Amino acid sequence: MNFTILVMGCDRYLEYTCDLFNHCIEKYWNNHPKVYYCLETKDNPYYETIHSNYEVSKWSLRLVYALKQIKSKVVLVCPDDTFFRKQVNSKVLERLASYIDDKLIAVNLEPAYDGIQVNEILTLRERGKKWLSSMIPQLWNREKLIEIIGDKELNPRQVEKIGTNTPYNYGIITTNTTDIDFGKKKNVYPFAITEGKWAREMIDFCKNENIEIDFSQLGFCD
């Protein structure tokens, strides 16, 4: 693999997401890249844990610290509630990662929703749009992501808007989304954990995966 995976987690959700994330990636992504898991103080028993203890308002500092512990040129940054739900096409991801350079610095894995299609798997997004620097699974030029964040103290939502003012290009996947299915549907919210609560669609998903979760502890957002 020509990239690694960085999961941005938090101590609060570890007991809810840890086993489910591991179950899904091991089931649906054969020979996946090395996984790094970023938490404040706790350890993930499955993956190498990077400890970066910043409050949510300074989440950008947590992310930059974690990125600096990784050496690969390209990193797939995921939130801890990214649960891969169908077999991942590694060849598609490797090809997307190969496009990333000093100009095209990121490729988003959500269903395409704007931009100009370059080929059967890549669309270039329009400059100046919001959410170019999305943290919902996105392949990144690791050094460029560190550069555009710098020493800014930003929460996750603020980080997702900084790409608007950068001179770089951003891509988004255009292939069939079953290649990388983590539950996100075009213009449909919420999914997985949203604003600290479960989406109800997770009930059937966990039932189908034979994963037991006490949903009452967080409750539901819808």
Residues 204-208: what's their mean pLDDT? 93
pLDDT per position as a tens digit, 65-80: 999 999 999 999 999 9
CA triple 115-113-90, angle to 5 deg: 90
**In the chain, beta strands by DSSP E:** 4-8, 35-39, 48-51, 74-79, 104-108, 116-117, 122-124, 138-141, 169-173, 193-194, 197-198
| Separation of alpha carbons 180 and 182, rounded Å | 6
3-class state of residue 151 by DSSP:
coil
Domain borders along the chain are: 4-182, 189-222
Residues 109 and 134 sit within 8 Å (Cβ to Cβ): no
169 confidence band (pLDDT: 50, 70, 90) = very high
pTM: 0.94
Strands 116-117 and 193-194: unpaired
pLDDT at 181: 87
Q: Reduced to 3 states, what is the DSSP secondary structure of residue 139?
A: strand
Mean pLDDT, rounded, for 156-164: 92
Q: What is the pLDDT of residue 185?
A: 76
pLDDT band with cut points at 50, 70 and 90 for residue 180 = confident
The predicted pLDDT at position 112 comes to 80
- Rounded to an integer, the average pLDDT of 145-173 is 94
4-56 pLDDT, tens per residue? 999 999 999 999 999 999 999 999 998 999 999 999 999 999 999 999 999 98
Does the domain at 4-182 match CATH 3.90.550.10? Answer given as yes
